[in-house]
């Protein structure tokens, strides 16, 4: 069942990534940045909730984390686009893409974890 959950989540994540990757603003790959930082926030949130509340369960974790987020986010596209920006635009554009993904990604993992902990604490006090 977990294999099927990963496959279904992966299909949905890949379709969303494809749709968002078409979003390019002034030669800067905004779509890739959006999917990567969104994925960073969501993985922090989901793992935090899984640790604190036991939700989502193992099969849903496979669907959401291994499948959906695994195919939504894209390191290889990010690496290629950074290389392309550096080669075709300038080192500055390449570095902007690199640091935007890293700084925003790490910041949003932290924010996702903090949000998950806040939600878990609220659920605990309400029960």
Is 70 one of the annotated binding-site residues? yes
d(CA 84, CA 100): 16
pLDDT tens-digit readout, 9-35: 999 999 999 998 887 777 889 999 999
The one-character DSSP state at 90 is -
Count other C-beta atoms under 10 Å from residue 27's C-beta: 10
Would the pTM of this model clear 0.85, i.e. be above it? Answer: yes
Is 105 one of the annotated binding-site residues? no
pLDDT attached to residue 21: 82
The one-character DSSP state at 73 is S
**Mean pLDDT score of the chain, rounded to an integer?**
95
In this structure, are residues 46 and 115 in contact, taking their beta carbons and an 8 Å threshold?
no
| DSSP characters over 20-59 | HHT--BTTB-HHHHHHHHHHHHHHHHHHHHHHHH--S-HH
């Amino acid at each position: 069942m977990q294999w099927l959950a990963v496959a279904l989540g992966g299909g949905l994540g890949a379709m969303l990534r494809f749709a968002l990757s078409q979003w390019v603003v002034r030669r800067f790959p905004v779509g890739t940045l959006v999917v990567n930082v969104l994925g960073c926030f969501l993985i922090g949130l989901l793992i935090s909730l899984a640790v604190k509340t036991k939700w989502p369960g193992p099969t849903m974790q496979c669907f959401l984390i291994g499948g959906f987020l695994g195919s939504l986010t894209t390191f290889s596209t990010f690496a290629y686009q950074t290389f392309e920006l550096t080669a075709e635009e300038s080192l500055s554009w390449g570095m902007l893409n690199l640091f935007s993904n890293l700084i925003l990604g790490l910041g949003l993992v932290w924010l996702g974890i903090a949000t998950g902990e806040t939600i878990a604490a609220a659920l605990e006090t309400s029960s």
